Structures are given as C-alpha cells and as structure tokens.
Amino acid sequence: MVASERKPKFVDIKLVDINTVYGAHYNPRKRDPERFNLVKLSLSKLGWVLPMYVTEKGEVLSGHQRLDAAKELGAEKVPVVVIDRLDPGRQRGVNIVFNRATNDMDKNDSGGSLSTMIPMSIIEEAAKSISDIDPKSDEFFPCKFLEIRQVSDLVHANMQKWLGHAIRQAESLYHWGRTSIPLVVTDDHKVINGIGRLQHAGETGMKTIQAVYVTQEKAELARILLNKLSMDFDLEDKYADVLRYNSFRRASNRQNFLMPTHSADLVTALSKTGKTQRPASAFDPENAKHVAAWKRWYGTTVLDFGAGLLDKALIMRDVMNVDCVAFEPYYTGGKDSGFDIEGARYITDMFLARVADGTEFHSIFLASVLNSVPFKADRLHIVNIVSALATKKTVVYSGAISKVSDRYLAATGQKDNISNHEVQFDSSFAGGYEDGVMVSDLMKRPKAQKYHSPDEWKEIWSTRFSDVHVYTYAPNDLVQAICQKPMEIDPESLSESIKFEFDLPFPDTTLGKVEEALEAFSQRLGMRLE
C-alpha cells in the first residue's frame, strides 16, 4: 500500500546541435561492431525513441553509442534532457545506472547475454517492412512527442511481469539523479520498454507518467532493440580506480565482536567435540578465560591486514591486551563519506615501522578483505605481501564470503534480500569481467564484491603458501583459509606488489607510501627491493 502520492519527475526534451554534446571519458561501454550496427539500424528505422541525458556542460550521461550512430547517419540535432546540479562524485554511478535502466534488464543480464537473445531473422524481416527515417525530419525524434499516461491503466495492462532490479534503477535515477526515463508504449497500453520504471511509478504512488508512443508496426522491432541491445561494460579499465577506492568498509558494517576470521577456529576448538561450529560472537573478549585461550591459539602479536574501521583491531589491543598491528589503506575515520587520507597514511607509517623492526607476527588476519578487492591481480598482490610478512611460525587466517552464502544468493537474485542490504542487493548486477563479481551501491560509491568458491579460495592462497587448508565456516557460509609455510620471496614480484599496494588510488591523490614501504620491507627481509 502506498502511503502518499509521489510526484513524478517529468523530463523536458530539447533538440540541440549534435556538436554541442560530447562523450564522457569514463564511459565504461565497450564498442561491439555488430551491436553498434544494430544501434544505427534502430535509429534509422525507429528514430530517437528515448532521449540522451547530459550534464549542463553537454557531457553525455546516457546515449554514447546513439550519439556516434547519429553522427554516422548524418544527423545534425540530438534530443537531450539536461540534468543540472548533479554531484560530480556521482556522475560515474549515474552513467552506469542509465546504461542499465534504459533496457529492461535483470541483475544477471549483460550486453553479451542479451545479444544472444536478439532474433536476427525477426530484425531483418521487420527492417525490410519499415522505411528509413530522414535524420533531419521531425519523425526522427519521436521522443519529442511525449504523452502523459495514467499509471493505473498501464499497470493493469502490464502487471504480468515485474523486474526488481529495474525498479531499483528507476528509484536510483529518481532519488539521486532527480530524473526519469519515459516509457515506450503502444496504443493498447502495452509497455514496450520500461516495465521496471512503470512498477516503480505504481509502487510509489505516482498517478501519471511520461510515455513515448510507437506504432504496432514498429512495436516488435522496438521491443527487441530497446531491451536486448546493449554494450558490455569495461569496468576493468574505465572504473578500475573507482572500484578500488570504494572498497572501504562501510560504517554500517561496524560490529562489537571479533569476526569469524579472528576467532572461528578457537570457538570451534572450545566446543565439546571440537567439531561443532559456533558463531564468532560466542567468543567474549572481556572473558579472561576466553582471552587466555585465544592467546594460546593465535599468539600475542598479530597483524590485522585490511583492518577496515579498526574496531576489531582496537578490541584486540585495548580489550584483550594483544599487540595488534593494523594496516588499512582506505581508512575513513568510521564515516561513509570521504576518506581520512592523513589517517590512512599515519596507520601505514605505524604499520611500516613494525615491518621494518622485524616484528614477528604469530597470526595474520584478513577478515573478508579480498571480497572487496575488485580484481584478481590486485588480490594476488596482497597475498604476495602477506606471504612476505609471514615467517615459518606464522599462521595466516583469511576468510571470505562464499558463493553459497545468503549474501551472494541475494545479490544474484537467487534468494530474497536479507538484513540491511536490501537495496544494495536489489540494485547490484554482475560485473561481467570475472565470475562471482557483483557491483552495487552505484549512485553513491560503486563497489565490487568478489564471492569465492572453496576451490578459488585455495587457488589464490596456494600461489604463495605451501600449506593451505580451506574449509567452509557454516554459521556464515564463509570460506576460510589457514595458510602456513610461505614460499621463497621473489624480490622483483614483491617490489611490484608493494608499488601497487602502497600507492593505492584515492579520488584526487594516492596513498603515496611506496618509497617508505620498499625501505621497510628491505630492512625486514635483508634484501634490496626497488
């Protein structure tokens, strides 16, 4: 039930000189020649069914491929909706949301997967019966002739299929982008494109919605080309640094107990059988007996690598009286807005001082750290560094959210949403560049999460450790790795890993600690790294 009516955000479409708008350098779309030819076909047969979206300066937020196609067709004008006062920090997120919201996509759809469903025989047949449109004529811009339709009429005619992911994209555009995308409809109220946008309007109490009319003759061609035609993302190139620096732990994830990676094995060992897995919260850091057992198990000098908000490190240090060294390059000061860069550099300096003085860590913890590292090459750098910090007596405990966890099943749409991650999971989508990678939090701070199988988890840690035991921690469906016997150090490889990790990107700068890190590791290892 809708508590109150929400006002729609109607768009004002203007025709502007095609040379006054330009593509965003960060646009992640990869050009596929065959699909690009279909974009040109769509424009030549259907015209501009939906407008472009641009900033006040003319930078394209949505419509890069159509802009290029229009130029090749000889068009002189393009239809645009100007989004003003858009937070520059959100432009990249808006760009991705537009790319997904324009099509009726589900969360696991990609440009590649959709293209396999394009029936070329139908397209070819439809194209023959539809005449080309003069790109200089009014007919080339059907989106200029917007109609106002009753939401209730459209809902009644189209409620057989809803797309939760598409709804979330519509909400993101409404709330963060302060705009909307018109529906594409036929005269009998059937929605050709925009089913998620329609459901969003209905669920939020909007009475009316803007729509672009297409004839029955063009309806099937429009349905295919507007919903199934999409380019793939090049997140590894255009969004790499964004995904890296948005890997920080959110303040909403703060907990007042140690994570499983810090205590799961001990908690299991303390059970009557030594086999029953119990929640990590069963460990009480204020219980003297628990702490004494913890120290016998994990030692008294430990490293929390990727310490996030530092809450777990501070529990170990201040409550349990453990010599806990923390390293967190993306320290936020416990906030979800902005980074405490100087704080991160201070933490790094303190960590490197302990690296340089040869501190031997009895245990090294990585609690869900590699889940938030967006690329495999980056994760391998971290494993390489951790291996260099380990001695023959060090035990590395590393945990990650698995592909059988509720969180992964929710993110991929295989299970209903859980806890406070509802919106995040509804709006997430498959990254496309690596199996198990989901991208979410688009309109705020786009973040990638890599979910691991036990085999993947063993594979990555076995690159630098000879003894790797992997198991699934049942209470949270985490994959846990216990690693010992670090392999011989390759100075060149380690230097490259250090140069990556200690110069991680921030929005306007980098961590900037490469020289200090190379010197600290050189002192520790007794070898020259450069």
Is the pLDDT reported for residue 295 higher than 50?
A: yes
The pLDDT of 467-471, averaged and rounded, is 95
State whether the Cα torsion 71-72-76-81 is positive or negative.
negative
User: What's the CA dihedral at 171, 177, 179, 183 to 10 degrees?
Assistant: -50
Residue boundaries of the structural domains of the chain: 14-233, 240-402+451-525
pTM for the full predicted model: 0.81
Is the pLDDT reported for residue 277 higher than 80?
A: no
Q: What are the residues whose beta carbons fall under 8 Å from the beta carbon of 327, sequence distance 6 or more?
A: 303, 304, 305, 306, 307, 347, 348, 351
In single-letter form, the type of residue at position 267 comes to V
3 — pLDDT class (breaks 50, 70, 90): very low
pLDDT digits (tens, 9 = 90+) for 401-412: 999 887 887 777
Question: Using alpha carbons only, what angle is made at residue 192 by residues 150 and 200, rounded to the nearest 5 degrees?
Answer: 50
Give dist(CA 405, CA 401) in Å, integer.
7
Is the pLDDT reported for residue 133 higher than 70?
A: yes
Give dist(CA 99, CA 86) in Å, integer.
17
For 320, phi then psi, to 5°, come to -95, -10
Give dist(CA 216, CA 222) in Å, integer.
10
pLDDT digits (tens, 9 = 90+) for 304-333: 999 998 999 999 999 999 999 999 999 988
The alpha helices in 106-160, defined as continuous H runs, are 111-115, 120-129, 151-158
Is the pLDDT reported for residue 6 higher than 70?
A: yes
The two beta strands, 363-367 and 395-401, are: parallel
According to CATH, the topology of domain 240-402+451-525 is Rossmann fold (3.40.50)
Q: What is the pLDDT of residue 17?
A: 97
